[in-house]
Each structure stands twice: as C-alpha cells, then as structure tokens.
A and B are shown apart, each in its own frame.
Chain A
Amino acid sequence: MTDTPSPTTSDERDEFALSCHDLKKSFQGVMAVSGATFEVPRGMITALIGPNGAGKTTVVNILSGMMRSDSGRMMVDSTDVTNWESYKIARLGLMRTFQLSRELGGLTVLENLLVAPQHQSGESLFNIFFRPGRTKREELANAQRALEILNTYGLYELRDSRARELSGGQKKLLEIARGIMAAPKILLLDEPMAGVNPALIDRIGGYILDLKAQGMTILMVEHNLNVVEKICDHVIVLAEGRTLATGRLSDLRANAEVVQAYLGEVISAGPAH
C-alpha cells in the first residue's frame, strides 16, 4: 500500500487530477488529519472512506481551500495549490459539495446554479451599463444550460423555489447540480448519499457514473460500501487522519489493517467468499 510515496514523475502527474502529500491539520491540539497522502486518478471515481472522525471532511476542506493545512502539499493537475484561497482553486476547475448541505438559501434553485459559472460578464459594473447586450445573451445561455441541468437532476419544477425550502434530498441534488453548472474538471462530494432514501441513492449513483462518462474526476466521501463497490474505481482508506491504504475495494478486504480499522466486524459478519 502507499504509506511512503515516491516523488511523482511527470508521467504520473498526468495520470492524477489531484494529489496531496503528508497533509496535517490539528484543532486546538487535536490532530484531525495527521499525514494524509494520496493521489486521485484522472477520469475515475475515487472513494474516500474511513470511520467517523477519521478526518475525511477535513481533508476535503483542505483540498478545496476552505481550510489551511498546518503542513503538507497539494496539487491540482500540475499546479501546486498549497495554501491557495478556495476561490482560486475553484477557478482551476475544482468544485465541491458539503456533508451538511449548504445551499444559498435566499436564492432560488435556478439562481443557485446561475451563480456558479466563472467570470460572468454581468458580474462587472462596467458591463452591466455599457455592454448590456452581451450580458443579457450570456445570462440567457447560462439560464438555458441551468434549466437543462435542473431537468436532468429532477429539480426543474422547483426552479423558482427558494433553495432553503427544499427537502434534504433535494438539497443534496441541488449541490451537485450547482457544482456541475461551474463545468468543473474535478468534483469533491462529501457524503452525497448520506441521509437520503434508497431510491435517491440509486439516482445519485447514476448521476455520478454519468459525470465520469463525461470525463470528470470524482472524489467522494462515502460510508456505504455497497455503493463504493458498485460505482467507485479506486478507494482511499483514512483512519485517525492518516492514509491507511489505497487500492481497489476487493484488494483492501484482504488487508488486515484495513479490516481492523474500518471494515472490522462488518466483513467478518458477512457471507464467506
């Protein structure tokens, strides 16, 4: 397994959309992340698993620039983004969703999506008053695309509702849709299926597979190993803030450490194979 990574060559870099090396983060002396090192292969779906409190959300927060690591490095494509502010990382094409949904509550569902495109003409005072035609055309094109995405995600009918009025499952969908609207290359999903009903879990799984088919790189935090088995190509196991193992889920099952740290009783209780 990959506890001690060798320096990456340029070939390997092309292979990975996102990587981090020895990330550490503590909160008032409590180590939440204590040496996370892994690579996220391009164009694949990678699962980030680990027990509660393993530091998965903290890692996602660091990778998206919303939190600063105490030490360690991270790369998006071949750009070193260590300590970058989140909006700069987002502009490189990395979008994320949140474990506890964070919709823009006062905005409508459609507006939540319309915020996402980068560098809109209509975000500049000058363009609003001196290039109204261009601003309007761009806005209509964005709205068209947003409505198509909402349609795909089953939120079309809710387009003019305030986002704060949505149900939990709908908010989860909205967050993914909002991320997609920004046309990202990399999508970080923090437990996209937590707390939603089984039918919706299937649908979200389908959406994620579609995104992969479109060439997107996905890193998702997921507790449900059944889902991981079905849709993820690659798994990273985090325990007590450290990367414990990486590989295919079937390989990891053979790893005694992983079984002990996470899969534990669950595996041994399962059917023999």
Chain B
Amino acid sequence: MSAFWYYVFTLVFFLFDYFILAMGLNIQYGETGILNFAYIGFVAIGSYVTGVTSLPNSVGTGQQYILGWGLPFPINLLLGGLASSALAVLVAFIALRRLRTDYLAVVLISLSLVLYDVINNYVPLFNGADGLYNVPEPLAGFFKLTTNSFIPFFAAVSGVVALIMWWVMHRITNAPLGRTLRAIRDDVEVSSALGKGVFRYQLTSMIIGAFYAGVGGGLIIQFGGSFNPTAWLPGETFVIFAVIIVGGVGNNVGLLVGALLVETLLIHLPAFLPAIPGHPGLIEYIDTMVVGVLLMVMLWFRPQGVVPERIRRSPISLVKRPASAIIDVAAPTEPVVAPVGNPAIQELP
C-alpha cells in the first residue's frame, strides 16, 4: 500500500474516532450543560484499559502495567468504555453533587491534571511516561491481515463502531431522556422545580459520555498499537470542544461535520504537509493557533455551529389540532374579570 493510501485511511480512522469522542462530549456539554474540562482524561482511561486488557501478562514485555489479561477485541474495547464510565461515577459523586457549573469546570480541570500526573509518574499502572506499546492488532490473526491491510481494515471497523454508537446516541437524544437532559442544560433550577432529580440525570449523562470517550480512546490504542501521556495533554480536551462547537452543539450530524473540519482538515491533514524549511514543527504550532482562532470566530459569529441543533417538531401523527375550543393568541376571549385600568386600584368597590 502506498504512503498516500496509508495517510488517507489514517485520516478516515481519526474522523470516525473523533466523531465518537465528539458524541460523548456533546451529550455531557451540548445536551446536559456539564462543562467537562477533564474529558481527555476519560479518553485516556479508555485507551489504557483497552490496552492492558488486550496486552498479555506484563512479565517479559519490558513494560510495567496492571491486568495484562490478553482479551480479544471488542471485549477489551468494551472494558475500556466501562472503565471510563466507572471513573465518571466517581467524578460525578465528587464534583457534581454539590458544585455549581462554574466551580465544576475548575474542579474537573484540576482532576484531569491530577490524573495526568499520577498516570505519567506512577509507572506500575500504565508504564508511566513511556506509556503502553506493542498492543496486539485486533482481529489481525483472525482475518490474516498484514501490517498493510490492517490500516484500511481497522478504519472500516471504527466506521462500524461509530455507526452503532451514533444509532444508540440518536435513540437517547430523541427520547424523553434526551429532552430532560436539554431541560437541565437550559435551566437546572427550573428542571428541578419540575420534579426532575437533576443529579441522577447528570450522572447518567456523565456515564454515557464517558463510555463514548473510553471507546474512542480504546480505538486509538488498537489502531496505533501504543498510547502514552503525549497523546492526551490536558489541552486536547479543547480540540474536542472545538469539534462540537464548530460542528454544532446538540446535533449529532453536526458533530461528524465538526470532526471533518477540525480534526481531519485542521489537525491531521497539515501534519502530512512537508515541513517549512528551517522551521520543523512550525506547522503544528500554526495549526493549534488556527484551531483557537476558528473557535473564537465561531463563538462570535455562529455560536450554533455549522449544523445547528434542529427543532424537534411535534409528532406527525398528532398534527391534527385538538377539537376543543380553538383560541388564538392574537384574538383575546371574552373578559372574565372586568377590564383593568391603570393602576386600577382606585376602582375598588
């Protein structure tokens, strides 16, 4: 396979993967209003756990890590997602129970920094700063894949996973559950006054979103075979925020567009451009700046994103107007109480 196709399939893989990551952050932020600034931490946990459940026992690998169960795909991927969800439960009980949104964001940033430092420095967990490598290529033995054919194969697998996860998310966001999450996003206090146990819903949203983060992270380590702390610098969270804000918060299709524009075209494509002579790495820096500027421009001029949240219309089967008395806002009915003057109190009997 030529280098060209290798690049193309890599881009395709990351497009699908960031679509999954964006869906997870979107249900938390776009649907529920939780500013999860620790999101990349959930991606990392999913990635590491997928790795250590897929790798064999660490003895003799030259790496240090926990578990080492040697489980096949997609069981290890599922475990990655679940591990990330478990972390979400912990974080929700620490941070969500009491804190208001703005404090929550700060607490989450701190948590992600703590997580980063622990994983980076505590080697027995996930091999510290070196991270995990030589993670077996999933299904490669089963389908007799070569190193070359694995890349397009796994890009396709990630497409299938993304499709399934899109369908699940579509069902959730269009169900009454999704509507209640959006109510909480729009006004926490009002939702509570309407009888919604807000914490329960925020917890649900965190768990679902973290599962998506974990699976997205798991796919990354399965695709590349390695994962280490340089892959999840805390700032990465903002790239995923950029994806959902550019694409359109609260719109699952918009997220795919956002992943294409931000992740594929801005982040990954320029990495394949020839370096500017005499300035190695300059392109990546320009890249980061472009994403930042794009984010500001979008927030300023088109906060609803390229594909805005759509209006969920009334069920077609019910569009027939109810038969009861028809009243129009424009046409007032008969006065029920006497017309009121201004300020009217002098007219008291």
Contacts and interface: CB of A to CB of B under 8 A. Distances in A.
Interface of A: 64-66, 85-87, 90-91, 95-96, 98, 102, 104-108, 110-111, 114-116, 118, 120-125, 128-129, 135, 139-140, 143-144, 147-148, 151-160, 162, 170, 173, 178, 182, 198-203, 205-206, 209, 224-227, 229-231, 253, 263, 266-267, 269-271, 273
Contacts of B332: 199-200, 202-203
B124 interface: no
Interface stretch (B40-48, B101-109, B289-297, B306-314): B306-314
Contacts of B198: 87
Nearest to B171: A128
Given A158-B329, A225-B345, A229-B348, 14 more contacts: A104-B187, A107-B182, A108-B314, A115-B183, A120-B180, A123-B175, A123-B176, A123-B177, A154-B328, A157-B328, A200-B332, A209-B336, A226-B341, A226-B347
Contact of B192 (A66, A107, A148, A199): A66
B347 to A, nearest CB: 6
Interface string B86-113: 0000000000000000000000000000
Contacts of B191: 104, 115
User: Which has the most chain B C-beta neighbours within 10 Å: A111, A209, A267, A269?
Assistant: A111
A157 B329 contact: yes
A64 B193 contact: yes
A154 B66 CA distance: 63
A226 B337 contact: yes
Q: Which 10 A-B pairs have the closest CB atoms?
A: A122-B176, A206-B336, A199-B332, A90-B195, A230-B337, A202-B335, A154-B327, A104-B186, A205-B337, A148-B322
User: Which has the most chain B C-beta neighbours within 10 Å: A118, A202, A227, A267?
Assistant: A202
Given A108-B311, A111-B179, A115-B194, A202 B348 contact: no
Main secondary structure of the interface of B (DSSP, over half): loop
A159 B314 contact: yes
Contacts of B176: 114, 120-123, 135, 139
Nearest to B313: A160
Interface of B: 168, 171-172, 175-177, 179-180, 182-183, 185-187, 189-198, 201, 204, 208, 250, 309, 311-315, 317-318, 321-322, 324-329, 332-341, 343-349
Contact of B349 (A198, A227, A229): A229
B100 to A, nearest CB: 14
Nearest to A91: B195
B348 A226 contact: yes
B348 A151 contact: no
A66 B327 contact: no
User: Which has the most chain A C-beta neighbours within 10 Å: B183, B198, B334, B340?
Assistant: B340
A269 to B, nearest CB: 6
A111 B175 CA distance: 11
Given A87-B198, A128-B172, A140-B318, A66 B189 contact: yes
13 contacts: A102-B189, A107-B179, A124-B177, A125-B177, A147-B321, A147-B322, A170-B329, A199-B335, A202-B333, A202-B340, A224-B340, A226-B338, A226-B340
A115 B180 contact: yes
A203 B336 contact: yes
Given A87-B198, A151-B321, A122 B177 contact: yes
A267 to B, nearest CB: 7
Contact of B315 (A125, A143, A156): A143
Contact of A270 (B171, B337, B346): B346
A110 B322 CA distance: 14
A270 B348 CA distance: 7
A6 to B, nearest CB: 32
Nearest to A175: B190
Contacts of B196: 87, 115
A105 B324 CA distance: 27
A115 B337 CA distance: 32
Nearest to B318: A143
B14 to A, nearest CB: 29
A202 B339 contact: yes
A59 B177 CA distance: 32
B337 A95 contact: no
B182 A104 contact: yes
A122 B343 CA distance: 48
A3 to B, nearest CB: 25
Contacts of B324: 148, 151-152
A108 B327 contact: no
A118 B327 contact: no
Contacts of A125: 172, 177, 204, 208
Contacts of B327: 151-154
User: Which has the most chain A C-beta neighbours within 10 Å: B171, B179, B341, B346?
Assistant: B179
A106 B185 contact: yes
Contacts of B189: 66, 86, 102
